């Protein structure tokens, strides 16, 4: 959110009814809205208008939504929210791996969409602000000192566990795929080591969570990845 | 008994009738008896199949020899041509009998297939009727609410407006629920290849519980799926789908405030999840029916009666099974068993 100006949203969908109702919903909540009906126009519009958030439908004619995501990520870090009628986990993973920030399944309620937009804007702002300390309930992560405390008690993490926690916590409320987490924690080449990832996450939860089998901070998105819930 | 004996009786009778007619006409038409007896064999085969055809052939053979081959009224064979006549009769009778019996069997198979197809069509019509009802009802409510809001006869009170808007939203939600379920079922029925990955059972059960938790409301919950269980290889998405639908079913069909228990264990060859409730339970006679599509055995719930059908199809899609037992809590216990395919080779071995 730059200064006082209301955030600028680019909606990409080939259905004019969806665009019309979304526009009404978003404008009534104070957002400035632009729309594009296909991939190439969306990419042009992103370059020209520099939106604060992009709402992207996956099923676009011609240039597919996932490809739009990938191309956009070549030069932009703008938050991308995928809105899709496709519900299978593999499509979700594909979009997230291509660089989407979040994924909402159509149909959705306006409240849900607005909440996700606010979360995306917050994450983006936090990334710009580069706060050195993350606080989530009793969990405090000091990114400078690489120190983690739970309810004031210091927790000793291995370097891999710390990396996992850091990447999850710096992306609050965002689903990170198995591949993304493995690349961060173990480096490229280990993207298939899912059993290792499960073990690291279990260890991390045992050190942080009050009830490791019913985690509040590091939550599972079955068949997709993990998400850090700051208000856990 | 009578039904089974009747075709044989027909066989014997037709040979008798053929013989009686042939005895009258034999003096003027010498070849007639053999042909008439063959006709009796053909009829017996058409009516009764192989067995009666055989009986008719044998009776016909004896009748031919006894009445019509010289010397008559004895089974003795003296004329050199007689054995040839008899053997020819036998061959033709057997061929004719077999052919007719086979035709009859084919005809029976065809009508059985037709009956089956008709039954399937009936089931489809019934499903279609339910689908059409479940789609049209909410659409009707939405359309009439919108029309009223746009063109009210008299100005609407604020309360009425809100009520109509509430109806539109609730009915749209119902449609969403129904369409998602129908699509999920269609996808599972079309057949999908399980995507088996290393998973921790506990974190999946916990995530599903977090998501569908609201439908369980204030029911006291026992969660016994330890995070210390070994990892297992299975399709987490399909397990998620099965477990969510089972839990939603529990949420709809058990009284508020009654306890629910989830127990999960990993075995070397399979993963086992049990959901026990303290509701009314499901009598053994109904345990198969509750998994049927569009099966609504009791009121309650906004679903299309697809929840448990989806749960079972999702379990079976990765080679598992979903069973119902008596629950130690007094209600029903759903048992989800899914293969733990530790090595990719084990898939081929199955």
B-chain residues near A214 (CB < 8 A): 206, 209, 223
Q: Span A205-221, mean pLDDT?
A: 93
The partner residue sitting opposite B202, judged by closest CB among A194, A213, A221, is A213
If pLDDT is split at 50, 70 and 90, which confidence band does B263 have? Answer: very high
The partner residue sitting opposite B198, judged by closest CB among A88, A195, A220, is A195
What's the pLDDT score for residue B350? 39
The per-residue b/e assignment along B216-225, b for 16 or more CB within 10 angstroms, e otherwise, is beebeeebeb
**A220 with B206: Cβ contact below 8 A:** yes
Instruction: Assess contact for B233 and B340: CB atoms under 8 A.
Output: yes
* Helical (H) or strand (E) element with B187: helix B158-190
For residues B347 and B345, give the distance between their C-alpha atoms in angstroms, rounded to a whole number. 5
What's the pLDDT score for residue B348? 43
Q: Span A43-55, mean pLDDT?
A: 94
How far is the alpha carbon of A198 from chain B, nearest alpha carbon, in Å? 7
Structural domains of chain B ordered from first start? 2-113 (no CATH), 135-190 (no CATH), 197-349 (3.30.565.10)
Q: If interface means Cβ-Cβ distance under 8 Å, which residues of chain B face chain A?
A: 172, 176, 180, 183, 187, 195, 197-200, 202-204, 206-210, 223, 225-227, 231, 235-237, 239-240
For residues A167 and B215, give the distance between their C-alpha atoms in angstroms, rounded to a whole number. 32
**B203 with A89: Cβ contact below 8 A:** no
> Which pair of structure tokens corresponds to residue A137?
């309930």
How far is the alpha carbon of B177 from chain A, nearest alpha carbon, in Å? 10
Residue B349 has pLDDT above 60, yes or no: no
Tracing tokens 């050195």 back to the chain, one arrives at A132
What's the pLDDT score for residue A127? 81
For residues B152 and B158, give the distance between their C-alpha atoms in angstroms, rounded to a whole number. 12
**Best interface-test mutation with A: which of B192, B227, B230, B314 has the largest number of A CBs within 10 A?**
B227
What's the pLDDT score for residue B344? 62
- Chain B nearest-CA residue for A110: B169
**Best interface-test mutation with A: which of B183, B195, B203, B223 has the largest number of A CBs within 10 A?**
B203
**B226 with A213: Cβ contact below 8 A:** yes
Q: How far apart are the first and last CA of chain B?
A: 45
A-chain residues near B237 (CB < 8 A): 88-89, 222-223
Residue A2 has pLDDT above 50, yes or no: no
Residue B298 has pLDDT above 80, yes or no: no
What's the pLDDT score for residue B41? 87
Q: Span A28-39, mean pLDDT?
A: 94
Residue A1 has pLDDT above 60, yes or no: no
**B195 with A223: Cβ contact below 8 A:** yes
Residue B318 has pLDDT above 90, yes or no: yes
Mean pLDDT taken over chain A: 90
Mean pLDDT taken over chain B: 87
What's the pLDDT score for residue A113? 94
How far is the alpha carbon of A5 from chain B, nearest alpha carbon, in Å? 33
Tracing tokens 């370097």 back to the chain, one arrives at A159
**B199 with A87: Cβ contact below 8 A:** no
- Chain B nearest-CA residue for A194: B198
A24 touches chain B (CB under 8 A): no
Lowest mean pLDDT among A92-106, B298-312, B319-333: B298-312
How many residues are there in chain A? 232
What's the pLDDT score for residue B300? 53
Residue B232 has pLDDT above 60, yes or no: yes
How far is the alpha carbon of A128 from chain B, nearest alpha carbon, in Å? 31
> Which pair of structure tokens corresponds to residue B214?
């609201």
What's the pLDDT score for residue B82? 75
Tracing tokens 């746009």 back to the chain, one arrives at B150
Sheet of strand A80-84: strand arrangement: A32-36, A8-12, A53-57, A80-84, A102-105
- Chain B nearest-CA residue for A232: B210
How far is the alpha carbon of A19 from chain B, nearest alpha carbon, in Å? 19
If pLDDT is split at 50, 70 and 90, which confidence band does B294 have? Answer: confident
Instruction: Supply φ then ψ for residue A33, to 5 degrees.
Output: -125, 135
Q: Span A176-195, mean pLDDT?
A: 85
If pLDDT is split at 50, 70 and 90, which confidence band does A232 have? Answer: low
What's the pLDDT score for residue B35? 87
- DSSP class per residue in B257-304: T--EEEEEEE-SSEEEEEEEE-SS---GGGTTGGGSTT---SS--SS-
Write down the domain spans for chain A.
8-128, 131-228
The partner residue sitting opposite B203, judged by closest CB among A88, A89, A220, is A220
Q: Span B258-262, mean pLDDT?
A: 95
The per-residue b/e assignment along A111-137, b for 16 or more CB within 10 angstroms, e otherwise, is eebeebbebbbebbeeeeeeeeebebe
Closest-CA residue to A199 (of B267, B234, B228, B209): B228
For residues B260 and B219, give the distance between their C-alpha atoms in angstroms, rounded to a whole number. 7
If pLDDT is split at 50, 70 and 90, which confidence band does B203 have? Answer: very high
Instruction: Assess contact for A190 and A182: CB atoms under 8 A.
Output: yes
**Best interface-test mutation with B: which of A25, A201, A203, A214 has the largest number of B CBs within 10 A?**
A214
**A202 with B227: Cβ contact below 8 A:** yes
What ipTM was reported for this prediction? 0.87
Number of H helices, E strands in chain A: 8, 12
A107 touches chain B (CB under 8 A): yes
Please state which architecture CATH assigns to domain A8-128: 3-Layer(aba) Sandwich (3.40)
Sorted by sequence, the CB contacts under 8 Å of residue A141 that are 6+ apart come out as A133, A134, A135, A147, A148, A165, A166, A169
For residues B305 and B131, give the distance between their C-alpha atoms in angstroms, rounded to a whole number. 10
**A202 with B210: Cβ contact below 8 A:** no
**B204 with A222: Cβ contact below 8 A:** yes
Instruction: Assess contact for B340 and B232: CB atoms under 8 A.
Output: yes
Closest-CA residue to A52 (of A95, A2, A103, A102): A2
How many A/B residue pairs have CB atoms within 8 Å?
Answer: 58
Residue B310 has pLDDT above 90, yes or no: yes
Sorted by sequence, the CB contacts under 8 Å of residue B65 that are 6+ apart come out as B75, B77, B82, B86
A61 touches chain B (CB under 8 A): no
Q: pLDDT tens digits, residue range B74-91?
A: 777 777 777 787 888 888
Instruction: Assess contact for B331 and B280: CB atoms under 8 A.
Output: yes
The partner residue sitting opposite A213, judged by closest CB among B172, B210, B225, is B225
For residues B38 and B49, give the distance between their C-alpha atoms in angstroms, rounded to a whole number. 15
Lowest mean pLDDT among A148-152, B90-94, B233-237: B90-94
Lowest mean pLDDT among A77-91, A179-193, B71-85, B281-295: B71-85
What's the pLDDT score for residue B260? 95
Q: pLDDT tens digits, residue range B3-62?
A: 788 889 988 999 899 888 888 888 787 778 888 888 888 888 888 888 888 888 888 888
What's the pLDDT score for residue B299? 55
**B236 with A222: Cβ contact below 8 A:** yes
Q: pLDDT tens digits, residue range B97-156?
A: 889 889 989 999 999 999 999 888 887 887 788 778 888 889 999 999 999 999 888 888
At B5 the three-state DSSP class reads helix
A231 touches chain B (CB under 8 A): no
**B204 with A220: Cβ contact below 8 A:** yes
Question: Does the A131-228 domain belong in CATH 3.90.1300.10?
Answer: no
Instruction: State if pTM tops 0.90.
Output: no
The partner residue sitting opposite B237, judged by closest CB among A89, A206, A213, is A89
């Amino acid at each position: 959110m730059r200064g006082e100006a209301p955030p600028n949203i680019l909606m990409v969908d080939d259905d004019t009814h969806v665009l019309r109702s979304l526009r009404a919903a978003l404008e009534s909540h104070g957002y400035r809205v632009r729309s594009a009906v296909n991939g190439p126009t969306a990419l042009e519009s992103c370059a020209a208008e520099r939106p604060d958030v992009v709402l992207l439908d996956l099923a676009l004619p011609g240039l597919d939504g996932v490809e739009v995501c990938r191309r956009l990520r070549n030069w932009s870090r703008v938050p991308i929210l995928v809105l899709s009628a496709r519900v299978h986990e593999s499509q979700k993973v594909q979009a997230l791996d291509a660089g989407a920030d979040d994924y909402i399944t159509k149909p959705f309620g306006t409240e849900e969409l607005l909440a996700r937009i606010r979360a995306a804007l917050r994450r983006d702002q936090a990334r710009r602000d580069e706060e050195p300390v993350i606080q989530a309930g009793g969990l405090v992560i000091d990114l400078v000192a690489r120190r983690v405390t739970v309810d004031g008690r210091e927790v000793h993490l291995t370097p891999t566990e710390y990396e996992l926690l850091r990447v999850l916590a710096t992306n609050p409320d965002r689903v990170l795929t198995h591949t993304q987490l493995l690349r961060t924690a173990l480096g490229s080449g280990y993207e298939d080591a899912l059993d290792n990832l499960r073990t690291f996450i279990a260890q991390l939860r045992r050190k942080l969570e009050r009830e490791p089998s019913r985690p509040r901070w590091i939550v599972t998105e079955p068949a997709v990845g993990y998400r850090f819930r700051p208000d856990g | 008994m009578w039904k089974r004996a009747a075709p044989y009786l027909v066989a014997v009778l037709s040979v008798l009738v053929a013989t009686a007619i042939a005895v009258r006409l034999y003096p003027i038409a010498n070849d007639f008896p053999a042909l008439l007896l063959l006709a009796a064999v053909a009829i017996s085969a058409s009516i009764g199949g192989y067995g009666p055809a055989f009986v008719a052939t044998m009776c016909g053979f004896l009748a031919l020899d006894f009445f019509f081959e010289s010397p008559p009224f004895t089974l003795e064979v003296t004329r050199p041509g007689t054995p040839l006549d008899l053997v020819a009769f036998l061959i033709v009778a057997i061929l004719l009998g077999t052919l007719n019996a086979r035709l009859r069997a084919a005809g029976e198979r065809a009508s059985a297939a037709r009956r089956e197809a008709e039954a399937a069509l009936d089931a489809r019509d019934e499903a279609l009727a339910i689908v059409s009802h479940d789609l049209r009802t909410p659409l009707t409510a939405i359309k009439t609410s919108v029309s009223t809001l746009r063109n009210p006869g008299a100005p609407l009170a604020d309360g009425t407006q809100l009520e109509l808007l509430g109806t539109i939203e609730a009915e749209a939600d119902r449609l969403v629920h129904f369409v998602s379920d129908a699509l999920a079922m269609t996808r599972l029925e079309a057949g999908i290849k399980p995507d088996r990955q290393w998973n921790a059972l506990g974190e999946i059960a916990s995530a599903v519980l977090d998501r569908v938790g609201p439908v369980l409301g204030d029911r006291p919950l026992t969660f016994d799926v330890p995070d210390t269980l070994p990892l297992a290889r299975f399709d987490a998405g399909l397990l998620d789908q099965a477990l969510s639908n089972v839990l939603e079913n529990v949420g709809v069909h058990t009284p508020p405030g009654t306890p629910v228990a989830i127990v999960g264990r990993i075995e070397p060859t399979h993963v086992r999840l049990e959901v026990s409730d303290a509701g009314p339970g499901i009598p053994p006679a109904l345990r198969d029916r509750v998994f049927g599509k569009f099966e609504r055995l009791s009121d309650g719930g906004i679903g299309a009666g697809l929840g448990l059908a989806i749960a079972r199809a999702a379990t079976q899609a990765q080679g598992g099974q979903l069973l119902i037992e008596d629950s130690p809590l007094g209600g029903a216990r759903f048992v989800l068993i899914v293969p733990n395919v530790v090595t990719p080779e084990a898939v081929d071995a199955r």
